[in-house]
Amino acid sequence: MKPRLFLYCQHSMGLGHLVRSWAIADALSSAFDVVFVSGGAPPAGMAPPPRVKMVCLPPLTQTTAGELVSESGERVELVQERRRQLLSDAFVATDPAVVVIELFPFGRAKFASEIVPILDYARTLRPRPTIVCSVRDLLAGGRTKQQQHDDRARALADRYFDAVLVHADPRLARLEETFKPQAPLRVPVFYTGFVSPQASTPKPALEAGRAGIVVTAGGGRVGGPLFRAAVEAHLLTPPAGRLPMRVITGPFLPPDEHHALVARAGTCPDLTVCGAVPSLRPWLASCAVSVSQCGYNTALDLVQLGVAALVVPFAEGREDEQRARARRLEAMGAVRVLDPDALSPERLASELIAMRRFTPAPFALDTDGAGETLRIVTNLRHPELAGVVPAAECA
């Protein structure tokens, strides 16, 4: 019988956290019975890994202002109370050998009231489970009390966790660049490489050549401004000088915005608007130009596939990690960046013409993050099997 592993993931505005955590869970399921607790809205048309048991909490999302919102319209306090009980019941029933918490305590502070109790309970178990934090390449900043947040996160990480797994290639991003507590972390930090759900998938349609423009914004919840600008930019461009465009709005764009885009595009035969698709990767692999935001998964696909990409990073409120990622990729020559403050149909139309002369520079990122996560977690449970060197020692 495999040991049991409990993975908690709360995705809020987009799909990046969920997609990355599903890929990690899929890799872990080869050695563990994985119970995956999801706290966000389930995305239409997307299925979890086949060997993973899903526990879906009543979904909560978080606005760009940091406010929690119930997907059902119920009072948030009532939903939180139900979530805490469901989460506790699932944790006790699982009795895990390993606990993986995605992002917290480096983010998701508003969910501490449901996460900390299971961590406290885990510390009472004998044998005590191995507890690790799973974190992306760059953390969001810009909080009014950022130093206080970082210091509190450092204290929680040191108190509850056995390791922090950073899903990044340290040549591109390191934890200390966006996490700066006054006292250093004592818990060991490991870099896994980027987590690519389809790292080994062949590049489709490359032999036949790339064609057209594809516009995406991950799950689409905050993609409205980019989608509207793209549709209008296409209509501004004379037919003889434009490429066919497909706008993929994703599962979370509000229905009224989606319908308005479809109606506007209906006047143009070489402009298509569609909703959710099982995977954006095949569309990115076969397009001549990609226009997107710069979330973790999309950015990784763009670099892996060598797409000529124009990125317009999402940067509302204190959400600054996409802008930081975009600038790093731009410095590598991997993408071109249009600052969101400069986004307009006219500017986007001009940038799309310029993209025809852009060839992305190749860059080989470490993308075995899911497999390396499995290796690290296994070795943390059984350190006698193989040596695991924390990032501080191999930097």
- Catalogue all structural domains in the chain, each as residue range(s) with its CATH number: 4-195+367-394 (3.40.50.2000), 213-357 (3.40.50.2000)
Residue holding tokens 């025809």? 356
CA-nearest of 278, 281, 253, 248 to 265 is 248
Q: Beta-carbon neighbour count of residue 342 at 10 Å? A: 11
The predicted model scores a pTM of 0.90
Q: What is the pLDDT of residues 191-238, one digit of tens each?
A: 999 998 764 444 444 445 789 999 999 999 999 999 999 999 999 999
The residues near 353 (Cβ < 8 Å, ≥ 6 apart) are: 237, 241
State the Cα angle at 141 between 393 and 193, rounded to 5°.
40
Q: What is the pLDDT of residues 234-289, one digit of tens each?
A: 999 999 989 999 999 999 999 999 999 999 999 899 999 999 898 899 999 999 99
CA-nearest of 18, 31, 21 to 380 is 31
Q: What is the pLDDT of residues 283-297, one digit of tens each?
A: 999 999 999 999 999
d(CA 166, CA 63): 25
Q: What is the pLDDT of residues 3-62, one digit of tens each?
A: 999 999 999 877 889 999 999 999 999 999 999 999 998 888 788 999 999 999 999 998
Helix, strand, coil % over all residues of the chain, rounded to 5: 40, 15, 45
Confidence at residue 384, expressed as pLDDT on a 0 to 100 scale: 53
Confidence at residue 179, expressed as pLDDT on a 0 to 100 scale: 96
Confidence at residue 367, expressed as pLDDT on a 0 to 100 scale: 92
Q: What is the pLDDT of residues 118-135, one digit of tens each?
A: 999 999 999 999 999 999
Q: Which of 295-304, 350-359, 386-395 has the lowest mean pLDDT?
A: 386-395
CA-nearest of 213, 261, 236, 10 to 111 is 10
The yes-or-no verdict on residue 148 having pLDDT over 50 is yes
Residue holding tokens 């990729």? 329
Q: DSSP H helical segments within 62-186, as ranges? A: 76-94, 112-124, 146-160
Handedness of CA 74, 76, 78, 81 (dihedral sign): positive
